[in-house]
């Protein structure tokens, strides 16, 4: 028992009270509680529990310290790894950002240079295209104007030659036809030359576009008038417009001057007035792209000269032409009034007038006589037809009577034929005449 106590105290072995133990001397087996008193057990149990608790506390503190140290080491390693990883990531990010910035800057500079070159080339191409399109449009307009002018000249020449052919003899007409052919060939050559010049972009044709357009407009609007172009190099206006009436009489003259400039010059007015005085024209007109200063109207009269923009040229021409024609009519009506009255009186009292009136009366008498003869002829014809119809009706009635006699009432539908109305009741008189 003494040894057991030493073992329990020195080693603190936990043994249950019912645990069987053997005596080392006699080998007698008995329960532990049978060899130890309750006080001893309780006392050693309390010591054991305190010792066990202390050992457990020490062991727990040691294990906890070890675990804390291990955790601290792991945390330190993790923090170091995190710092290393963060440093590496920062370096990689910095390198990548630097490389990306360098690449972006190089690419941006290249794109900017390429865009600048493209914009410059595009601007040059657009400028060239606009210039070419403008030249083509101007050349096409000039070509169309030249063709229109040529066609109008040709039509005017044909009408003039046709009128001269009707008024002149055969030999003169042949001569004029030959002249027309010569002029036509010359006009065709001129048109071919003009077309070639237009294709070459002639600056001279472009400068004369306004004059050509004005001449074409006047010829188209007033085909009865004579539009004469003043040759180049001769002092005077650009066009001489001789207004003609329907009978072909010249009623007056209008001088036309064209100006295709950016500014209006008052000196033009005096020059055109001098030309008007030298040619004896009644009116003078300047058609200009630049109207006089402080003039907002499409046309105006200054210093006895009419100034109009190209858009109002036709309206001004119609108004001035009407004025010249009315003035010509007044002059004609007032000229030789007494002489005309005397001529009219002599004509009424002349034998020629009496013969003309007798011819009219004779014609009326002849028409009346022929009408009476036609009436009598139709009367004879109508009486002849009446006799023929009466004979035809009598024959039909005889046939119907025979058929009814043979059929003995079996043909009642023939009663309507047997009861035909008399001829005088078949129709109304025509124009008062009864057949």
Q: Is the separation of the CB atoms in 258 and 284 below 8 Å?
A: no
What is the reported pLDDT for 349? Answer: 77
CA distance 334 to 337: 6
Q: Is the separation of the CB atoms in 211 and 239 below 8 Å?
A: yes
The DSSP code sequence of 360-401 is HHHHHHHHHHHHHHHHHHHHHHHHHHHHHHHHHHHHHHHHHH
CA distance 245 to 252: 10
Beta strands in 185-328 (DSSP E): 226-229, 239-244, 250-259, 283-288, 299-302, 305-308
- Please list, in sequence order, all residues whose beta carbon lies within 8 angstroms of the beta carbon of residue 13, skipping any fewer than 6 positions away: 7
- Token digits for 127? 């400028």
Strands 305-308 and 283-288 turn out to be parallel
What is the reported pLDDT for 306? Answer: 92
Q: Is the separation of the CB atoms in 252 and 241 below 8 Å?
A: no
Q: What are the pLDDT tens digits along the chain (435 aa)?
A: 444 433 344 455 566 667 777 777 787 777 766 666 566 666 666 777 788 787 888 888 888 888 888 888 888 888 888 888 788 888 888 887 788 788 888 888 888 888 888 888 888 878 877 887 888 888 888 878 877 887 888 888 888 877 776 766 666 666 776 777 787 778 778 877 777 666 555 445 544 778 888 889 999 999 999 998 887 766 677 899 999 988 888 999 999 998 888 888 888 888 988 888 888 888 999 999 888 888 888 899 988 899 999 889 999 999 999 999 998 888 877 766 667 677 777 777 777 777 777 777 788 888 888 988 988 888 888 888 888 888 887 777 777 777 667 666 655 655 655 555 555 555 444 444 443
What is the reported pLDDT for 16? Answer: 65
CA distance 299 to 316: 8
What is the reported pLDDT for 210? Answer: 81
Q: Which of 180, 220, 212 is nearest to 194 (CA)?
A: 212
CA distance 324 to 250: 10
What is the reported pLDDT for 286? Answer: 92
Residue 189's Cβ-count burial label (10 Å; 0-12, 13-18, 19+) is exposed
β partners of residue 284: 255
Q: Where are the domains of the chain?
A: 2-127, 224-335, 364-425
Side-chain-side CA neighbours of 80 within 13 Å: the count stands at 6
Which three-class secondary structure string do you get for 302-371?
ECCEEEECHHHHHHHHHHHHHHHHHHHHHHHHHCCHHHHHHHHHHHHCCHHHHHHHHHHHHHHHHHHHHH
187-to-152, 175, 293, 340 alpha-carbon distances in Å: 11, 18, 41, 46
Residue 393's Cβ-count burial label (10 Å; 0-12, 13-18, 19+) is middle
CA distance 254 to 256: 6
Q: Is the pTM of this model over 0.75?
A: no
Q: Is the separation of the CB atoms in 259 and 266 below 8 Å?
A: no
In words, the CATH class of domain 224-335 is alpha beta
Q: Which of 175, 187, 238, 234 is nearest to 208 (CA)?
A: 238
Of the chain, the end-to-end C-alpha distance in Å amounts to: 189
Q: Is the separation of the CB atoms in 202 and 135 below 8 Å?
A: no
Q: Is the separation of the CB atoms in 299 and 272 below 8 Å?
A: no
């Amino acid at each position: 028992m003494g040894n057991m106590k030493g073992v329990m105290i020195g080693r603190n072995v936990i043994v249950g009270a019912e645990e069987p133990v053997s005596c080392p001397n006699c080998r007698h087996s008995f329960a532990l509680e049978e060899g130890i008193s309750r006080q001893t057990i309780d006392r050693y149990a309390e010591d054991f529990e305190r010792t066990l608790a202390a050992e457990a506390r020490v062991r727990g503190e040691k294990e906890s310290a070890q675990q804390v140290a291990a955790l601290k080491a792991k945390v330190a390693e993790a923090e170091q790894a995190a710092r290393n990883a963060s440093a590496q990531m920062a370096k990689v990010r910095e390198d990548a950002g630097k490389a990306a910035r360098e690449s972006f800057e190089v690419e941006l500079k290249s794109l900017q240079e390429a865009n600048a070159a493209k914009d410059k080339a595009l601007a040059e191409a657009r400028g060239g295209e606009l210039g070419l399109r403008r030249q083509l449009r101007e050349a096409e307009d000039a070509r169309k104007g030249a063709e229109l002018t040529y066609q109008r000249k040709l039509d005017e020449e044909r009408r003039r030659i046709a009128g001269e052919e009707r008024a002149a003899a055969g030999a003169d007409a042949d001569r004029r036809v030959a002249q027309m052919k010569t002029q036509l060939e010359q006009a065709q050559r001129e048109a071919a030359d003009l077309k070639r010049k237009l294709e070459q972009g002639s600056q001279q044709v472009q400068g004369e576009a306004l004059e050509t357009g004005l001449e074409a407009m006047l010829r188209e609007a007033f085909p009865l008038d004579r539009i004469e172009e003043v040759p180049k190099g001769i002092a005077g206006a650009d066009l001489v417009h001789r207004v003609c009436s329907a009978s072909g009489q010249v009623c007056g003259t209008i001088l036309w001057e064209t100006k295709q400039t950016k500014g209006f010059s008052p000196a033009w007015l005096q020059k055109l007035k001098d030309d008007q005085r030298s040619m004896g024209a009644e009116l003078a007109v300047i058609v200009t792209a630049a109207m006089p200063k402080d003039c907002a109207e499409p046309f105006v009269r200054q210093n006895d000269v009419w100034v109009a923009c190209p858009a109002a040229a036709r309206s001004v021409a119609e108004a001035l032409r009407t004025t010249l024609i009315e003035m010509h009519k007044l002059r004609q009506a007032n000229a030789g009034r007494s002489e005309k009255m005397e001529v009219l009186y002599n004509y009424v009292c002349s034998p020629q007038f009496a013969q003309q009136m007798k011819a009219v009366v004779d014609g009326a008498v002849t028409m009346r006589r022929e009408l009476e003869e036609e009436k009598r002829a139709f009367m004879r014809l109508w009486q002849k037809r009446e006799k023929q119809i009466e004979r035809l009706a009598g024959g039909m009635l005889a046939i119907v009577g025979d058929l009814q006699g043979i059929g003995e009432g079996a043909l009642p539908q023939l009663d309507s034929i047997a009861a035909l109305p008399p001829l005088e009741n078949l129709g109304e008189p025509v124009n008062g005449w009864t057949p």
